[in-house]
Amino acid sequence: MLPKRIIVLDTETISIDKPYIYDLGFIVAELDENLKYQVIYQSQQVIQQIYDNRALFATAYYESKRKIYTSMMKGRKAKKIKYGFALRNLMLVAEQYEVNHILAYNSPFDKRALNFTTDFFKLKNELDNKNWLDIHAIANNFIHMHKDYIDYATDLNWFNTSGFLQTNAEKTFAFLTKNKDFKEEHTSLQDCLIELDILNACIEKGFDNSQEMKTSFIKADIKQTLKIKVDDKVYDFKYSKRINHKNGDITLKKWFSSVSNV
């Protein structure tokens, strides 16, 4: 059964390995009579301790977005706040709207980022007590595994070097809107709104929260090419799956090689 109200949450972090949160956004959405979630509250909080640490923020993957955040804060679309207050605000809103379900796209990462940042500031993460759902896993089952998405993604070469289809929120929203050039802003609140649209699309396709959803990797039925130049020759290695090892070695599955002169 779908909960009456949910929170969709997104975190923007310095990196995957060191997920200090510098942008925490969330929306509260309520289910209407047509079984579609509508936004009834939204918030975007820029974390002061991380954002104002220029040396640390300069290492962020999206450091180039600083001008966007400056503009949002000047326009009062986002608020700079210390992490403890941001986390407390989120919990107060959850209590006010009686929300017990937290959703995120690739929720295991957001949970890890929240725990990492909360531990760093020696705080308590009360969100651990909520019911978490992964919109990515839901979309896997109701969008990505279907022929129309697989065909669309394959035609646009949406696959990674390991031979799996790309199923991130950006590609999923591009598919739903049939806008192949769509690019996420990668700010927390905008990402939340996109992820809510994806969730609503899954509900239209039959998702009702009656069973546990698990994330799956979807194999792309294509051949890829690794080119290696040795002296004056180029070697082409055709493969369907690539494994990059930590020591720099590469394993290619189902490959054959050809050689040509340059």
User: Residue 159 forms beta bridges with which residues?
Assistant: 165
Place of tokens 């050039």: 181
pLDDT per residue, tens digit, the chain (262 aa), is: 999 999 999 999 999 999 999 999 999 999 999 999 999 999 999 999 999 998 888 887 767 788 889 999 999 999 999 999 999 999 999 999 999 999 999 999 999 999 999 999 999 998 989 999 999 999 999 999 999 999 999 999 898 877 789 999 999 999 999 999 999 988 999 999 999 999 999 999 999 998 888 887 777 665 556 667 777 777 666 665 566 666 766 665 654 433 334 3
- Per DSSP (E only), the strands in 32-75 are 37-47
pLDDT at 259: 37
Residue 182 and residue 184: Cα distance in Å, rounded? Answer: 7
pLDDT at 241: 58
Q: Which of 100, 97, 107 has its CA nearest to residue 130?
A: 100
pLDDT at 254: 57
Distance of CA 179 to the CA centre of its chain: 18
pTM value > 0.85: no
Backbone angles phi, psi at 50, to 5 degrees: -90, -50
CB atoms within 10 A of CB 254: 10
pLDDT at 156: 93
Q: Which of 15, 196, 194, 45 has its CA nearest to residue 112?
A: 15
